[in-house]
Amino acid sequence: MRGLFSVVLLVFLLWQTGCVALEQNPVSGTTRAFAFTWEQEIQIGREADQDIVAEFGIYENEELEAYIVELSELILAESHLRRPEASAQFRNTEFTFRLLDSDVVNAFALPGGFVYFTRGLLSHMNNEAQLSVVIGHEIGHVAARHASQRMLQQQIGQLVLVGGAFAGQEIFGVDAESIMNLGGTAAQLLFLSHSRDHERESDRLGVEYAARAGFDASEGAAFFRSLQRLSAQHGGGIPNFMSSHPDPGQREQSMHTLSQQWRDQGFEQTRRNERRFMEMIDGMTIGENPRNGFVRDAMYFHPELAFQYPVPSGWSVQNMPTQVVMFDNDQQAISIFTIEQDASNARAAVDRFTNQEGITVESSGTQNVGNIRGYRAIATATTQDGTALRLMVQGLEHNGQVYRFLNYAPAERYEGFQSAFSQIVSGFQTLTDESILNIQPARLQVVSADRVGPFSSFLPDQLPPGFTAESFAIMNQVELDETITRGQRLKLPRP
């Protein structure tokens, strides 16, 4: 009772200070504490949506995008947010559904009705019923307001940890930092446990919404079986008790049980729509799209924008639609390459960055790279934790675009990385290799089997880079030696 009183007191204090909103949970219909109001959740989602699009990019296929939106709206209509008893603020909330240009198998939702699916996810599904369960799952996260619940738990947990740390130091003579570290780990496990509960609730809601829309929700089991195989293919993943998601094997089993419960209530669940789904993903990009940039032989190439520059030995690369980040093994030296859409020339790109408060320019001036016009500044800055940094900021004008390299390292280590920074910038040049300029991504081809035989016999001798025979078996939700019947639809690499 004393522990319960403490939690209630903390919630009351958070509410008094404006950190808690007492509002309705659309799924349960009860009033409870959330970290944000519904209006705030919508605003948070709207602002974060811009970052998500910038980081992943939108998969450019209007027909497929419209298909995803159409199916998602159908599932949304069966959710708690669209039922007659739901309050007007929930019924009138407009949802945004996006298809991201990523080969990672993933779907996620932001507060306030922003839901995302990757093309990698679609490539590992076989019909609309499977996709409907995942759509329902993500809508369930929004409807149950899980993000706002988790944030409230985190706020309360932080207050409890701080109070525990002071008590430990004062009463028991134990070092406060040790308690904070221990408590932080324990609290993280607690929050992960809550997150698993949220995932299970969203699984239930996903099946419910799909079943009410007439889809065979038990088909979700086959997709979770694929997730389990993907996990095994990539080395297993983290232990179940440390994961924020329930074990895929457990989720596979629950799909059949949950689906049957809705059949028992009179929902027949006859829709699978395999043919339509396969037609929609036929020709879709699979794997990484080299048109958006790739690394080969210690060189970063961007065929679409026709440039290249070297990658220092041992450095890692993170390629995103709006920037390319490279860093050394110790992550002490960082190089960030961006497209400067708001800068008219190389100098403007540099000045726009160095004019920020807290940055001191030591030297600057014209610095061309070959026949490419450029401008460079050497500057210093200090991070919030007091670390002194030294920066090389280089602007470049190439083929009507303005680019900027931001290279930096701790001031005392900058000299050791200066040659790597110079190698990156001075190596920037126009891409002229026709074989790279014309490179195309791998794409799916949906075919109907013209004979009976093991799945492996339908695969071409040469697979796209980064793919194995097992990769395509998982994508098709079959085993390599599984017998394929005549007429069965298969997802194969396009020749």
Ranges of each domain in the chain: 2-279, 291-432, 441-493
Q: What is the mean pLDDT of the chain?
A: 86
Name the β-bridge partners of 295.
Answer: 300
283: left (phi over 0), alpha (psi -120 to 50) or beta: left
**What's the pLDDT tens digit per position in 437-472?**
999 999 999 999 999 999 999 999 999 998 999 999
What angle do the packed helices 62-76 and 274-281 form, to 10 degrees? 140
**Is 50 exceeded by the pLDDT of residue 247?**
yes
CA of residue 173 relative to chain centroid, distance: 44
Do 443 and 285 touch, CB atoms closer than 8 A?
A: yes
331: left (phi over 0), alpha (psi -120 to 50) or beta: left
What pLDDT is attached to residue 168?
Answer: 29
Q: Give the mean pLDDT of 184-212.
A: 72
What is the rounded CA–CA span in Å between residue 40 and residue 129? 33
**What's the pLDDT tens digit per position in 266-279?**
999 999 999 999 99
Q: Give the mean pLDDT of 175-179.
A: 34
What pLDDT is attached to residue 335?
Answer: 97
**Is 90 exceeded by the pLDDT of residue 249?**
no
**What's the pLDDT tens digit per position in 282-292?**
999 999 999 99
Between 11 and 300, the more confident residue is: 300
In which band, very low, low, confident or very high, does the pLDDT at 149 lie, cut at 50, 70 and 90? confident
Do 103 and 286 touch, CB atoms closer than 8 A?
A: yes
CATH class for the domain made up of 291-432? alpha beta
Three-class SS string for 57-96? Answer: CECCCHHHHHHHHHHHHHHHCCCHHHCCCCCHHHHCCCCE
Q: Phi and psi of 152, rounded to 5°?
A: -65, -45
The winner for highest mean pLDDT among 16-30, 176-190, 318-332, 450-464 is 450-464
Joined tokens for residue 247: 């074990």
Range with lowest mean pLDDT among 53-62, 171-180, 343-352? 171-180
Do 438 and 470 touch, CB atoms closer than 8 A?
A: no
